[in-house]
Amino acid sequence: MIASLHVPVLFEEVLNFLNVRRGGNYADATLGLAGHTSGIARRLGPHGTLHCFDRDPDAMKLAKERLEHLAAELKATMPKVEFHARAFSEADQVIAPGTLDGILADFGVSSLQLDTPHRGFSFRHDGPLDMRMNPKVGVSAEQVVNQIDENELADLIYEFGEERSSRRIARAIVRARPITTTGELARVVAAAAPAMKGEKIHPATKTFQALRIYVNDELGEIRSLLGSAPSLLKPGGRLAVISFHSLEDRLVKDDFRERSRTGEYEVLTKKPVTATEDEMERNPRARSAKLRVAEKK
């Protein structure tokens, strides 16, 4: 049900910029619920190959189901699909150098993660404070919130959430320990740093973002992908990246600029591509999406 409700952002823009060619070899570095992947598969044809990466076992299961339905629809025109239940930073361990015609990376948190209370990604639904993309690996947000010292907690909220009230929030969290649910944490943060008049986002939004990025080493993952992409792409192959906040976008922008300067890439998006007003009305999550695309020379 969730997979059927999932709406991929900048869908047509991504497919057009990737310039998907029949029989090509492509990688979706962030499979999610296979929204973009399904579009790529329709254009690839039976001689094409799609590598699909995701470290979230729930997302992988639903994506496989969605692509099985697509295969039943496309029949003989369905491309070969290879699933990799691992982080996209490990793509260079399973894909040969210089073999990809395109790579897509959508860094957004999926609908599945946000809308499933027990995953602990959102304060809109009260649930255990987890936030791990792979619930079986690494430390949870609950462990971070309850175990690290106040200064380190404040620093990570400031660095990864760009939250100006990080010191006040960290102090309040330490005083309120133990905190075990998303609802508890949201209430503690909101009490410590209430929303300013006219502010549209919930006061806990940046703290939740910071914890999610920290728990999943999201920026480290992005750096790894940006570092390995040039060696995986063929000349003329394209890397399309969708980011959702300034920390992600800055990494992509800086990487593309540097590789353009050294002659490794041609940047195809001088400014990031953003959603149309129509798409933002249909899919509010598209409001903060930015698409950048580079082509390997």
Strands 290-296 and 233-243: antiparallel
Tell whether residue 36 is among the known ligand binding residues. yes
Tell whether residue 198 is among the known ligand binding residues. no
Sheet with 233-243, strands from edge to edge, namely 80-84, 49-53, 25-28, 100-106, 233-243, 290-296, 265-267
CB-based contact 106:252 (threshold 8 Å): no
Q: What is the mean pLDDT of the chain?
A: 93
How many structural domains are present in the chain?
2
Q: Do 6 and 107 fall within a single domain?
A: yes
The Cα–Cα gap between 212 and 45 comes to 37
CB-based contact 97:234 (threshold 8 Å): no
CB-based contact 140:131 (threshold 8 Å): yes
CATH of the domain at 90: 3.40.50.150
Q: Do 39 and 101 fall within a single domain?
A: yes
Tens of pLDDT, residues 127-164: 999 999 999 899 999 999 999 999 999 999 999 999 99
Q: Do 98 and 225 fall within a single domain?
A: yes
Query: What percent of the chain is predicted at pLDDT more than 90?
Result: 84
Closest to 211 measured CA to CA, from 254, 255, 168, 169: 169
Radius of gyration of the chain (CA): 20
Of 172, 198, 216, at which residue does a domain stop?
216
The 3 state secondary structure assigned to 164-177 is CCHHHHHHHHHHHC
- Six-digit token string for 221: 């993952």
The mean per-residue pLDDT over the stretch 268-287 comes to 94
Of 216, 242, 273, at which residue does a domain stop?
216
pLDDT-based confidence at 35, cuts 50/70/90? very high
Q: Do 100 and 229 fall within a single domain?
A: yes
The Cα–Cα gap between 125 and 51 comes to 33
Statement: residue 235 has pLDDT above 80? yes
| Exposure string over 218-232, b if 16+ CB within 10 A, otherwise e | bbebbebbbebbbeb
Tell whether residue 113 is among the known ligand binding residues. yes
Tens of pLDDT, residues 178-207: 999 999 999 999 999 998 877 788 999 999
Q: Do 12 and 148 fall within a single domain?
A: no
Q: Do 147 and 179 fall within a single domain?
A: yes
Q: What is the pTM of this model?
A: 0.92
The confidence score (pLDDT) of residue 201 equals: 87
**Phi and psi at residue 50, in whole multiples of 5°?**
-120, 120
Q: Do 35 and 80 fall within a single domain?
A: yes
295 alpha carbon, distance to own chain's centre = 21
The helix or strand, by DSSP H or E, that contains position 243, with its residue range, turns out to be: strand 233-243
Of 216, 235, 269, at which residue does a domain stop?
216
User: Which residues touch 55 (CB under 8 Å, ≥6 apart)?
Assistant: 85, 86, 87, 133, 134, 137
CATH of the domain at 151: 1.10.150.170
Tell whether residue 35 is among the known ligand binding residues. yes
The confidence score (pLDDT) of residue 124 equals: 85
Sign of CA dihedral 30, 32, 33, 35: negative
Q: Do 14 and 102 fall within a single domain?
A: yes
Q: Do 95 and 20 fall within a single domain?
A: yes
Q: Tell me the residue range of the domain where 270 lies.
A: 2-112+218-296
Q: Do 106 and 81 fall within a single domain?
A: yes
Output DSSP code: residue 133. S
Q: Do 231 and 185 fall within a single domain?
A: no
The mean per-residue pLDDT over the stretch 18-39 comes to 95
Query: What percent of the chain is predicted at pLDDT more than 70?
Result: 96
Q: Do 140 and 153 fall within a single domain?
A: yes
Inter-CA distances, 24 with 109, 264, 265, Å: 28, 21, 20
